[in-house]
Structure 1
Amino acid sequence: MTIAQHLLTPSSDQTPVTVEIPTKQLSGALWVSKFPTSTRLDEMNSAFATSVASFLSALKAAGASVDISATLRPAKRAFLMHWAWKIVNADADPLTIPEREGVDIQWGHSNEKGDYCREVSVAAATAMVNGYGIRNLRVAPALTSRHIEGKAIDMTINWTGTLSIRDAMGRTVDISTEPKTGMNADLHAVGATYMVIKFKGGDKDKPHWSTDGR
């Protein structure tokens, strides 16, 4: 009992305590550099990284050009990309976007009078969409995705002439069909032999490949 009374006795230390209250930062292009997406294969799921490396080796040996734009994506970045896209393309209300721990963003902006202004809010979200390079994306970036799991890669593939590429079984496949990009159906079939599956949603997400097409 004596111990309890001692613990409840107010401290004589009158030193002021500083409490930091996090302030939110307005949305806009400055958020694009936060929570960066990786382009490294070694940060992906190890099994998928091995499959992708083999597919990329075959593509490069065949003379195709490959530009990797995303591999592992932090969940916080996916959150920002998703809601910025929704505000710009799906009329999401900047004032009712759900909060996420560790992302102190304020989506709603005010005008010079201090009143909420949707136009300014959408302009800020548009700057983010442009900065993320998702302006032409026809579907909102997923909040949970294979990128977050390390099981997806975004890459732009191009070639000229006929692409003679070896599949995972060692067979040479000559691709002369159009388009001469990563959207070519014959190339998708080759990728599948490496267990690298093209996005199954058509042209809504052109650069996306994953473990299962999602």
Structure 2
Amino acid sequence: MENVICISEILSRLMFEAKIRTAELARRVKLPQPTVHRIVTGTSPRPHLSSLTPIAEYFGITLEQLRGTQTIPGLHPFDSARHAHLKEIPLISWEDIIPWSEKQNGPSATENIFCDIPVSDKSFALRVYDTSAEPQFPKGTLLIIDPEKQMKDRNFVVVKIESVPTPLFRQLFVDGSQLYIKPPAIPQPEPSNISPLKQEDKIYGSLVQIKLNFND
């Protein structure tokens, strides 16, 4: 059996340093995205040679280097403190937050992205599609959301308001037992721009990291 843990770690590090995501790598090496995803996550029990060969060729390494039996010059040990928490998390649409979080039958993730900080297995990513959160969160920003992170005053959260069909990205304010939210584009909370959360409203996670794309 292949050393799938080693392959997973090496491939994840190669992809991280090359700044390439699973979907894009699959497209470039002409393999199904689920196949590449299983290799990256280490869930493929026996990666086929036909799958490993184009991946190794793409990164300019040998099969032995991809398998971990030979070192890759310039590639530092993957389990260093800086990259010990590197993992893939799903990038989903704003419309899919509720079915995804509540494990209902819904569309699968459009792609996966790398997160290099400790997050729970329930974490997911969202993309900012407009300018409503600027200047702090420009259009195209990736938001890493962790539903299990403890919410604190002035955290940014994803929240579903009863009167709005799609969850919103808001800043949270805590005043005793009462929670308030405001749009992230508004710099300072004022009575006119903050809203109290009601019992029927629900927070689906807190922001733990952002990723900016300066090529957009």
TM-score (norm: length of structure 2): 0.29
Radius of gyration: which is bigger? 1
Larger RCO (alpha carbons 8 Å, 6+ apart): 1
TM-score (norm: length of structure 1): 0.29
The structure whose residues are more often helix, as a share, is: 1
